[in-house]
Chain A
Amino acid sequence: MNNNSHDHKNGDEIGCLDAIEWLYAWLDGELDEQSVSQLEQHISHCRSCFSRRQMELELTARVEKSSKSRAPGILQDRLRKLMDEF
């Protein structure tokens, strides 16, 4: 387990608290490249954060897979008719 610091702009090693914060930003596509690299470095040798990353990745994928909906054809027809009225 590593010490936690909050300023890592120079590429130094991050701790678990920062890793978790950054993990969520990464999952949501909100983490910059340099931070991604630092996060990966931390996860490569931290079993706790590695486990959390795997769990969150799988859970996020399952949420996405389970929640995708397709608009019914009847709605698409309805919208086409609406647009025709304008």
Chain B
Amino acid sequence: MDALYGVALRLTGKSADAEDLVAEAVTKAWCALDSLENRAHFRSWLFRILRNLFISNYRKQSVRPVEISWSLPAASDEEYDICSWLAEQPNDFLQWWANPEREVYNRFLGEQIMSAIEELPEAFRVTVLLINVEGLTYDEAAEALGVPAGTIRSRMKRGRTLLQKVLWQQAQDAGLAVQCQDKGEPYEQQLTRS
């Protein structure tokens, strides 16, 4: 129930709405239990009911903060390959992470990570939560969200990149991060150099 509530809270942004959403989802699942052919899929089936209810009943009235419009490549989820991903990478974030000053940032990160997650576009936020927090497999998350497993894989990759971009931006806004003076060779160039 904690997992259902956690996802509902991230979807609606409001505790009272999350409670209503979970109650409705459980009620609907209970009434439709006989239609579930494979009980092994119960968890993903329940998440799917929750998400469908959110889309039909709650999305318009959601009090979620406005999501930041991070520019994303036009390619579809399945076409999002490793090269596209590398081109999006905030490499300063990775380089700074390895810097001793990161200890300062660590304290900042503890406070900011939730707001960074909240700023992710819904599709990525929900996917990251289902996989990283609730421990669903790609197949279970795919079933819960009604998309192919390849899309889940792609969303995880992009979700992580977007999260790092948000965190990096927040650190810069707070004056905690400066661009690395000696960047050396960009990471993607290192990788593509054979």
Contacts and interface: CB of A to CB of B under 8 A. Distances in A.
B4 interface: yes
B2 interface: yes
Nearest to B109: A62
The bracket for how many chain B residues form the interface is 35 or more
A18 B15 CA distance: 41
B5 A63 contact: no
Nearest to A55: B97
Interface in A1-53: 1, 3-4, 15-17, 20-21, 24-25, 27-30, 48, 51-52
Contacts of B190: 1, 16, 48
B150 to A, nearest CB: 12
Q: Interface residues of B: mostly helix, strand, loop or mixed?
A: helix
Contact of A82 (B26, B98, B128, B129): B26
Contacts of A86: 30
A75 B27 contact: no
Contact of A29 (B117, B129, B137, B193): B137
B98 A51 contact: yes
Given A17-B82, A59-B160, A66-B114, A76 B138 contact: no
Interface of A: 1, 3-4, 15-17, 20-21, 24-25, 27-30, 48, 51-52, 54-56, 59-60, 62-64, 66-72, 74-76, 78-79, 82-83, 86
Given A4-B191, A64-B133, A67-B10, 13 more contacts: A4-B194, A48-B187, A55-B93, A56-B160, A59-B164, A62-B113, A66-B117, A67-B114, A68-B2, A70-B5, A71-B2, A71-B5, A76-B1
Interface of B: 1-2, 4-6, 9-10, 15, 19, 22-23, 26-27, 30, 82, 86, 93-94, 97-98, 109-110, 113-114, 117, 128-129, 131-133, 135, 137-138, 153, 156-157, 160, 163-164, 187, 190-194
